[in-house]
Amino acid sequence: MDITAQVLKQNLRAVRGRLLMVDFNENNDGYYTCHVHLPDGTVVYGAFDDDLAAIMEKSLRHEVYAMGVATIDAASGQLITLHIGELILIEPDAVAEAELQHAYDRYFADHDTATHLRQALHEAISGQTYPISDLWQMVDSDDED
């Protein structure tokens, strides 16, 4: 492996964040530019070629994985810029929808009055009843907690 290949391999990086700026005016180097905002508030300044323009436009304001060759500050080791070679849009709607559905199901399992009433009616019809004194004791013990 020659020195150029070694340097490129060492500087390959991937970041995950929100793509919040894309500039489709070519800079002096002939690249387009973008900003990927990481969860910790750091902004990664990116550059990309024309072949990524469509996915960049589609991914604007969404969470992405950006992979490419990084320029690293020699003193701090911090990523300065990322020449993005591949961008993957993380589909937030699928994750959010599944989480929302789970929360919705969990909430109604805990708070669905109609289900509780049907269950109580079923218990009463099948003879699963309690003396009133036992029920009051259960209520009193709940109040003490």
Hey, what domains does the chain have and what are their CATH numbers? 3-90 (2.40.50.140), 94-144 (no CATH)
pLDDT for the residue 77: 83
Average pLDDT, the chain: 79
80 confidence band (pLDDT: 50, 70, 90): confident
Give the integer Cα–Cα distance in Å for 36 and 130: 62
Query: Would you state the torsion angle of the CA atoms of residues 17, 49, 14, 10, taken in this order, to the nearest 10 degrees?
Result: -150
Higher pLDDT residue, 76 or 22?
22
Q: Is 30 left (phi over 0), alpha (psi -120 to 50) or beta?
A: left
Higher pLDDT residue, 100 or 3?
100
Q: Tell the residue number behind the tokens 């009616």, with chain if given.
A: 121
Q: Which residues 6+ apart lie within 8 Å of 18 measured at CB?
A: 36, 37, 61, 62, 63, 64
